[in-house]
Amino acid sequence: MDIINLKQIISDQKQFSFPQKNIVYRDSFAIDKTLLSNSLINIVTGVRRSGKSVFLQYLRQQLPQNDNFLNFEDDRLAVFTVEDFQTLFLAFLELYGEQPYFFFDEIQNIPSWESFIRRLHDYRKKIFITGSNANMLSRELGAKLTGRYLAYEIYPCSFYEFLQFKNVAVDLKDFGTKNIASMRQLFQEYCHFGGLPEYYSIQTQDYLHTLYENIIYRDIISRYNITNESIIKKLVYYLASNIAKDTNFSALAKLLSVGSSSTIAEYCHYLENSYLCFFINRFNYSLKKQYGYHKKVYFIDIALARSVGFRTSEDYGRMLENIVFLELKHRYKEIYFHREKYECDFIIKENSKISNAFQVSVSLTAHETYERERLGIEEAITLFQLDEGTIITENEERVHEIIINGRTKKIRIVPIWKWLLEK
Using pLDDT thresholds of 50, 70 and 90, give the confidence band for residue 170: confident
Which DSSP letter does residue 282 get?
A: B
195: three-class secondary structure by DSSP? coil
Is the model's pLDDT at 137 over the cut of 70? Answer: no
Per-residue pLDDT at 4: 95
* pLDDT tens digits for range 179-225: 889 999 999 999 999 999 999 989 999 999 999 999 999 999 999 99
- List Cβ neighbours of 120 (8 Å cut-off, separation of 6 or more): 89, 102, 127
| C-beta of residue 19 within 8 angstroms of C-beta of residue 93 | no
Q: What does the angle CA 307 – CA 308 – CA 314 come to, to the nearest 5 degrees?
A: 70
How far are the Cα atoms of 61, 157, 232, 248 from residue 264, in angstroms, in the given order? 43, 30, 9, 9
**pLDDT value at position 36?**
87
Q: Rounded to a whole number, what is the distance in angstroms from the first to the last CA of the chain?
A: 49
300-312 pLDDT tens trace: 999 999 999 987 7
Reply yes or no on whether the pLDDT at 41 is more than 60: yes
Rounded distance between C-alpha atoms, residue 259 and residue 255, angstroms:
10
Give me the DSSP letters along 54-88: HHHHHHHHTSS----EEETT-GGGTT--GGGHHHH
Q: pLDDT tens, 369-381?
A: 999 999 999 999 9
Q: Which residue has the higher pLDDT, 68 or 152?
A: 68
**pLDDT cut 90: percent of the chain above it:** 76
- DSSP one-letter string for 324-347: HHHHHHHH-SEEEEEESSSEEEEE
Classified as helix, coil or strand, 186 is: helix
For 383-412, the pLDDT digits (tens) are: 999 999 999 999 999 999 999 888 999 999
pLDDT tens-digit readout, 245-263: 999 999 999 999 998 999 9
Mean pLDDT of the chain: 91
Q: How far apart are CA 139 and CA 128, in angstroms?
A: 19
Contact 198, 207 (CB under 8 A): yes
The full set of domains in the chain, from first to last, is: 3-153 (3.40.50.300), 206-311 (1.10.10.10)
Distances (CA, A) of 238 to 260, 280, 310, 368, 402: 17, 17, 8, 29, 40
Residue 89, amino acid = F
pLDDT score for 50: 93
DSSP state letter for 221: I
More confident residue, 140 or 76: 76
Contacts of 27 (CB under 8 A, 6+ apart): 158, 160, 161, 330
Answer for the pair 296, 346: CB distance below 8 angstroms, yes or no. Answer: no
- How large is the angle between the packed helices 85-96 and 3-13, nearest 10 degrees? 60
Give the confidence band of 61 by pLDDT, cuts at 50, 70, 90: confident
| Mean pLDDT, residues 270-291 taken together | 93
